Structure 1
């Protein structure tokens, strides 16, 4: 397997040997702030929290919540293709671990990725002994990539996404990326733009396979919570603002004040810690709000569902969803979670982070772009005809995973 050839990569690997000097203290400080799980933070030191299952194991890594959830469709398809294979998913954030635990695909377990120090990675790889290492989107840890390749474990990069701004940030480090990409046996991009950028950074034979988010299975929902919440909502028309930011909330709340009778607006903030802030804003507009995190039910104009891991519940209960991040600089969030659960998709004009996804939905008449001016009418319109088209696109994406699955199983010798 190719050895590190660039001075920058060699320098990084030398510097990474010092990570253990600071890592335990840093992780303990994060633990004190609630940013790490008390019973699992030592996984980031390479200490396994679970036993290794028997048989071949595919290790997949994604950085955060959305990227981790997007891997589920690929895992399901690989599990069907290779019935004897087990799966390990790693990520780095607490939220990704907690939500993924409620949405585990078959034969799958989760661990935190160790910090990028040689000793931590050695412990991790000695324990898990993967047959294949699959990295998703943009998150590559140089030490982990080099250590994995040095053991002869095949590497793949899937669902890669890189817009012009991300490419510009990485271009100065192109020699490092070229060193890393030389270790990958398969590199798959979401779109042609990403493929061009990866090639310019030194990747070879980049294939375009589309986005994995569209192929992800529906998010789960706790049956007891579903049974308790549905009657509490009654017959009121329900609108979900999903993964919201302040700019989205301002537009939705302004539209809500203009409507009579008012639908019930459920606001699921991207950061649930903002629930109190949102409640104050609602009240300044003369509307009433309740918060799920405080045990309050949907008795006001707005129900702030400020909890983690319940998006599958809200999409099931709301016939219409407005995708957050599309009225401000966040530039959108994943629309496919709503599509998979039959909630009609509305979105604002700012979708740069998911341009291809929203374009695909729009071309099929499966989503409706709105502005602050057109939103009030859209909130009172029946969008049932869009739902079937969006669901069909999700199903087609899942069926389209076969070529990538075949390539990955062949790379690992798991056919």
Structure 2
């Protein structure tokens, strides 16, 4: 193949070395898929697609690649807007993870096709593009694949990075692999950035054209039925609820250890959320005059990755808490025994609106370890007061804007987060104000899907 313009011999050498490593690592890649398939069988399905075989796709589709669950959900409003602007559009939807592919099934319409993105070896990506021949390729958020990008450039497929974000940390890391990543960035026809800061970093990384369009996740509308169901369950509980939303490894154990410290104090928190006399700054009574018969708050934990559901259940039980699992009951809701449990485990998929509807206040997972934080926009759209830790670099602007809007608060550690959560449980007026601010904040930043769809369709026209 002729290299893309500006491809230096160093860059071609780096890509050749990268390709050789991937080819040699193919058996390990297959072994990894088999191992992950033990817990998530979908990883073992349609294996030929991972190498560009068995595609059978009609040419001319709009191709959207959403690597995992978060990117798939973010792609939903963009896909819907593309359908509105281009009636009869055929979608080619690709993924890398089982959770992404499972969630993506809900986005398909008659005539659409769903496939795995192939392993990034030259032969696999060449077969993929020859077998699909899309009119445009849309990569969600942070996806850059050196061989895929080069093959698309050779095939004349314009590639767009949509809802694009690039943290300062990722940009610094990318400098170590610039001979590999810089030519891939140059082959992008367009990047549609979430923020001005993202746009500046993407330009610095080598993307030739960058436009700021906002964040697609503001265009996601919560499922009203799930919200209503969660609120109904909360009303039936008769006690306040603290949610750890989309938690990551290391956070659950720390939270449970901190939660244990309030167990003896929690009866002082009255059911209606008022602050009893003699309470400390967290709103929890420390004296012997604790309110008789009052029930402690319910802790709800929703892990980010489904393969960790059982692991987190064990952590809860080892900590000595009684546990109820969402997967154990259906739409009718928890039993009386489940309602009396100390901790609920949110071990279900695509039900975050239910958990936010259930919560009085939420702690943002991924922000209490140096992981960059999870999507805080969904919590805002559901009107839930949010407490975030120090690590939100994956959603830096959204975090800043939510703080400025009064929809969220920043804490420096998980123990501060727990204390702030209990304080908010005891302060209904502040919770109500934060909830209203969160809803207004989410509504004020919508419109990215319309802007991105217009720019993507311009490339096809």
Q: Quick check: TM above 0.5?
A: yes
1:22, CA displacement in angstroms?
5.1
CA distance in 1, matches of 2:233, 2:445: 30
Does residue 402 (structure 1) correspond to residue 439 (structure 2)? The answer is no
Which runs of structure 2 are paired with 1:312-323 in the superposition (5 Å)?
Answer: 312-323=353-364
Structure 1 spans left out of the alignment, 5+ residues: none
Does residue 52 (structure 1) correspond to residue 54 (structure 2)? The answer is no
CA distance in 2, matches of 1:24, 1:338: 41
The CA deviation string for residues 268-327 of structure 1, in whole angstroms up to 9 with x for no partner, is 122344445544544565532223456684440111123444334323433433221222
CA distance in 2, matches of 1:148, 1:330: 32
Partner of residue 420, structure 2? 374
Cα 1:358–1:169 change in 2 (3 A) is: same
1:350, CA displacement in angstroms?
3.3
Equivalent pair of 2:380/2:438 in contact (CA under 8 Å):
yes
Cα 1:155–1:286 change in 2 (3 A) is: closer
Partner of residue 243, structure 1? 246
Which runs of structure 2 are paired with 1:35-50 in the superposition (5 Å)?
Answer: 37-48=43-54
1:64, CA displacement in angstroms?
2.7
The CA deviation string for residues 110-135 of structure 1, in whole angstroms up to 9 with x for no partner, is 32100112332233223322111112
Cα 1:184–1:327 change in 2 (3 A) is: closer
Question: Of the candidates 76, 79, 104, which is equivalent to residue 72 of structure 1?
Answer: 76
Report which stretch shifted further, 141-150 or 258-267. Answer: 258-267
Partner of residue 266, structure 2? 259
Partner of 1:153: helix, strand, or coil? coil
Cα 1:197–1:18 change in 2 (3 A) is: closer
Cα 1:284–1:18 change in 2 (3 A) is: closer
Question: Of the candidates 163, 175, 178, which is equivalent to residue 174 of structure 1?
Answer: 178
Partner of residue 30, structure 1? 33
Equivalent pair of 2:234/2:358 in contact (CA under 8 Å):
no
Equivalent pair of 2:93/2:104 in contact (CA under 8 Å):
no
Partner of 1:241: helix, strand, or coil? strand
Which runs of structure 2 are paired with 1:121-140 in the superposition (5 Å)?
Answer: 121-140=125-144
Structure 2 spans left out of the alignment, 5+ residues: 268-294
Cα 1:183–1:330 change in 2 (3 A) is: closer
For the pair shown, which has the larger CA radius of gyration, 1 or 2? 2
CA distance in 2, matches of 1:219, 1:143: 38
1:70, CA displacement in angstroms?
1.5
Does residue 347 (structure 1) correspond to residue 372 (structure 2)? The answer is no
CA RMSD of aligned residues (A): 3.4
Cα 1:264–1:231 change in 2 (3 A) is: closer
Partner of residue 2, structure 1? 4
Which runs of structure 2 are paired with 1:261-276 in the superposition (5 Å)?
Answer: 261-276=295-310
Report which stretch shifted further, 280-289 or 189-198. Answer: 280-289
1:21, CA displacement in angstroms?
6.2
CA distance in 1, matches of 2:407, 2:31: 46
Partner of residue 289, structure 2? none
| Aligned residue pair count | 408
CA distance in 1, matches of 2:20, 2:372: 38
1:410, CA displacement in angstroms?
0.5
1:24, CA displacement in angstroms?
5.8
Report which stretch shifted further, 292-301 or 242-251. Answer: 292-301
The CA deviation string for residues 178-204 of structure 1, in whole angstroms up to 9 with x for no partner, is 322332221222223332322223223
Q: Normalising to structure 2: TM-score of the pair?
A: 0.77
CA distance in 2, matches of 1:281, 1:18: 38
